[in-house]
Structure 1
Amino acid sequence: MTSSISSKGNNMMRLKQENQSSIRKIIYLRGPVLRSSIAEDLHLTLPTITTNVNAMLQSGILFEDRNNVVMTPGRSALPVDIVPDSRYFIGVEITQISRSVCICNYRGAIVFTSIDNTIYKEYSEVLQSAARLVQAALQSTVVPTNRICGIGVCLPGLIDSEAGKLLAHRQFGWYDKDVVKDLREFTGYTGPITVENDASSRALAAQLFLREQLKEVPSFFYLYVSIGIASPFVKNDFSLSSSPVGAGELGYMIMDPKMPFGTWGSTGSLNNLAGIRALKEQAQAAATSGRAPYLYSLCGDALPTEAQLMDSATHDEVIDELICDVILYLGVAIANEDNLVRPESILVDAPYFVHQKYRELFMDTLYKYSFRPSSFRFHIIFLNRDELPGAKSAAAVAIRSDFDKYIAI
């Protein structure tokens, strides 16, 4: 008998957690929203919605938006929305080249940032650098420590977000790293820590922080181009699944199987043909050989920056040709992905599209190689490179994780 009662109690608690989580997610994505609309969308009773919403109003997580009163038959209704400053989160982006940390509120407004651009090769050095930044954020007076509700971490590579581990990053030579355990050890932080792949975290950040732009978009690719290239597919609904559907590791797609293998795998992979590092190395070779004089005047023998590359593209024909080749490979790869999955939109987060010429080439390539009706038009959103920075995207991972945690009220 005791076991039956215990089981019933556990089931009731699980149901309360699931209800609160679903309600918070839908308010976050659609707020300000009426209680009746929440009940309709979630197929829950209005009393269940009212009980949860009223409790969260009392706790300060939600507020009634009196600037958006909705007139309903017989009376007016007040929609509810998230209180942005009710909860804060730390985001951490980790690479060998730099570590960046931010504190942002529930709606992604950043109130603290810090960065370390020291280049480290060893995993332990990189994690200790990130830990120092996290400790500085925790000790800052910008937000009381008790109002920081979690830490999100993003880094490139194959991630097991449930276990909090980096399984593999071939370029860095890091394998089977327990990121959560190590960050706890280095920082002493005992609250929730969540880890996600850097491209997946940016896709999630787009859902949370670009919700107005994506309100009518049921699914999208998030094309993220860095040293590697990823394009996770995201179902844009209020379920906010913990990770996009598939990691979208597009960079390992083989574009030319006749090319040999190198240090990081096939030199015919998209990473090696369209990744930023690969393009920079080709551009550097062109500059030092005298084929790109304008670029050489900007960076000399050094590896060019993204800004220098795009500036040079309007002056050095060889750099323009290199970038056009990159855009062609990206367009073909996304067209192949589109032929398999069919998203409703494509978000493009890459440094190559500051010039309209390259945007048009990318779209023309999509139309040429995608198997779609001739009347079809792609919905493409070209993002500013800094619109969803890594640390802020990592904070989105912590926010998403927070939705699943029951807040006793």
Structure 2
Amino acid sequence: MVRRGTNLDRVGGFNDAVVLDAIRRSEQLSRVELAEATGLSGQAISNIARRLLDAGLVREAGRLRGARLGKPRTLLELEPTGRYAVGVHLDPSVVTVVLLDLTGEVVARRPVDQYADDPGLLIDGIAKTIEEVIAEAGAPRDRVTGVGIAAPGPIDVERGVVVDPPNLSTWHLVPLRDELAERTGLPIVLDKDVTAAASAERWAGQGGSFVFFYLGTGVGAGLVIGDEVIRGSSSNVGEIGHVIVDPDGPLCYCGRRGCVGEASQPRYLVQQGVRAEVLADGIDLDDRQAVEAAFSRLCALAADGSVPARAIVTALAERIAKVVEDIANLLDLERVVFGGPHWEHLAPVLDAAVREALEGRFLLRAVHPFEVTGTALGVDVGAIGAASLVLDRTFSPDPSVGLTLDGER
């Protein structure tokens, strides 16, 4: 849905964003089409187009032929190199940095090599990698709009603080936004990983109403309803890890058994694989890299047809389907999108298994279907989403993303 502008001069900045957003959504539009789409006058569109061209944010892209009257119309499209945004995805299993151009295309990406549990060392590594991706892309630094960070919750968005993520035990009240701003000199915006992932899907054109089910070291749910990203009162929406899906399941740190977060962790699945004798005994469950390697092996065995390995992943699908079912029925959603660092490993079995587990459970199926899909943005969806948060805050007319880049209202 293209937002409508106003012809009052004092909101020119808003109107510029309306026009820029309309061009982004349609890829190419003439000035006449922009006026029709935004409700702005022809003169207002001409003035805005001139400003956007002068700023290097849009470019002329040939002419539209076949117009009924007058000369062919000149098309406008985004200038990809007009601005850039950095995205950082912080997950206990992997930290990735990407650079997006103005169209949302990834022009450079790198994992952070200096991974460490110590927050200060990891932030140093992130800052170094940010400079590397900017240099790799050859992006002029003055066109880099800012850095978005997708971090596990809970977070304090107002202060830019990562509070106490359950799978990052040393991260207690870490002022990530300010620390990274000090190291890079760039504006920083911090948001939850699941919200960033949902924002990425929306930025890529997947609007409507859906839940993004994040599968990483932990699980979470990002929500888009009516094409709007839902954040909640403190921007911590999506904390689904303590939904109980198996009363006889593993003991969670919260003191209860069978929480979906604990029952979906690679560590727990690897334990099941060892018990089922599809994985070798002796895996150090406190060694994150060893657990990740064993988890990948378990998923590969399941995809290759190992009956006990496949049973473990299918049981996981049942647990996940229970949570998706409740969210979809409660909020009348159109689809679930799966993604996150572990989706690629699980998808060959989990995709079909979740579809089967959800069959017949969506109560409104007589009114509209419920779709199960995987993200089209790959393993970098969190980092892409983090960068899209910067683009949203910089260029979108959407009032729901009206935070400034330093986190102040």
Q: What's the TM-score, normalizing by structure 1?
A: 0.80
Give the Cα separation in 2 of the matches to 1:236 and 1:172: 33
Give the Cα separation in 1 of the matches to 2:117 and 2:143: 34
Counterpart selection for 1:150 from 111, 129, 146? 146
Matches within 5 A, 1:9-20: 13=10, 15-20=11-16
SS in 1 for 2:394: helix
Aligned residue in 1 for 2:5: none
Alpha carbons 1:95, 1:126 under 8 Å: kept: no
- C-alpha change, 1:218 and 1:324, in structure 2 (3 Å) is same
Q: Does 1:359 align with 2:351?
A: yes
CA deviation string 1:202-229 (max 9, x = no partner): 2111222x32xx3xx4222211111211
Give the Cα separation in 2 of the matches to 1:141 and 1:365: 44
Aligned residue in 2 for 1:3: none
Give the Cα separation in 2 of the matches to 1:380 and 1:305: 27
State percent identity of aligned pairs.
19
Matches within 5 A, 1:156-195: 156-173=152-169, 174-185=171-182, 187=183, 189-195=184-190
Give the Cα separation in 2 of the matches to 1:25 and 1:162: 26
- C-alpha change, 1:226 and 1:315, in structure 2 (3 Å) is same
Q: Does 1:280 align with 2:303?
A: no
Matches within 5 A, 1:205-354: 205-208=200-203, 210-211=204-205, 214=206, 217-235=207-225, 237=227, 243=231, 247-256=237-246, 261-263=251-253, 266-283=256-273, 285-286=274-275, 291-292=277-278, 295-296=279-280, 302-303=290-291, 304-313=293-302, 314-349=304-339, 350-351=343-344, 353-354=346-347
Q: Does 1:200 align with 2:195?
A: yes
| Alpha-carbon distance, 1:160 to partner | 3.6
Aligned residue in 2 for 1:372: 364
- C-alpha change, 1:352 and 1:249, in structure 2 (3 Å) is farther
Q: Which runs of 5+ in 1 are unaligned?
A: 1-10
Give the Cα separation in 2 of the matches to 1:114 and 1:260: 35
CA deviation string 1:374-394 (max 9, x = no partner): 474323322368354433332
Give the Cα separation in 1 of the matches to 2:181 and 2:388: 19
Which amino acid letter does the alignment assign opposite residue 45 of structure 2?
I
Alpha carbons 2:375, 2:381 under 8 Å: kept: no
Which amino acid letter does the alignment assign opposite residue 384 of structure 2?
K
- C-alpha change, 1:141 and 1:66, in structure 2 (3 Å) is closer
| Alpha-carbon distance, 1:346 to partner | 2.3
Aligned residue in 2 for 1:52: 48
Q: Does 1:29 align with 2:19?
A: no
Give the Cα separation in 1 of the matches to 2:353 and 2:13: 48
Aligned residue in 1 for 2:117: 121
Give the Cα separation in 2 of the matches to 1:19 and 1:89: 22
Alpha carbons 1:69, 1:79 under 8 Å: kept: no
Alpha carbons 1:98, 1:115 under 8 Å: kept: yes
- C-alpha change, 1:241 and 1:256, in structure 2 (3 Å) is closer
| Alpha-carbon distance, 1:181 to partner | 0.8
Question: Which one is further off, 253-262 or 127-136?
Answer: 253-262
Aligned residue in 2 for 1:5: none
Cα root mean square deviation, aligned = 3.2
| Alpha-carbon distance, 1:138 to partner | 4.9
- C-alpha change, 1:263 and 1:116, in structure 2 (3 Å) is same
Alpha carbons 2:193, 2:382 under 8 Å: kept: yes
CA deviation string 1:169-204 (max 9, x = no partner): 12213333221111122x1x3332111111211211
SS in 1 for 2:139: coil
Which amino acid letter does the alignment assign opposite residue 363 of structure 2?
F
SS in 1 for 2:316: helix
Which amino acid letter does the alignment assign opposite residue 205 of structure 1?
A
CA deviation string 1:27-66 (max 9, x = no partner): 2222223444444444433432332122102322112332
Matches within 5 A, 1:80-95: 80-95=76-91
| Alpha-carbon distance, 1:258 to partner | 6.4
Aligned residue in 2 for 1:397: 389
- C-alpha change, 1:262 and 1:351, in structure 2 (3 Å) is same
| Alpha-carbon distance, 1:270 to partner | 1.0
Alpha carbons 1:101, 1:113 under 8 Å: kept: yes
Q: How many residues get paired?
A: 378
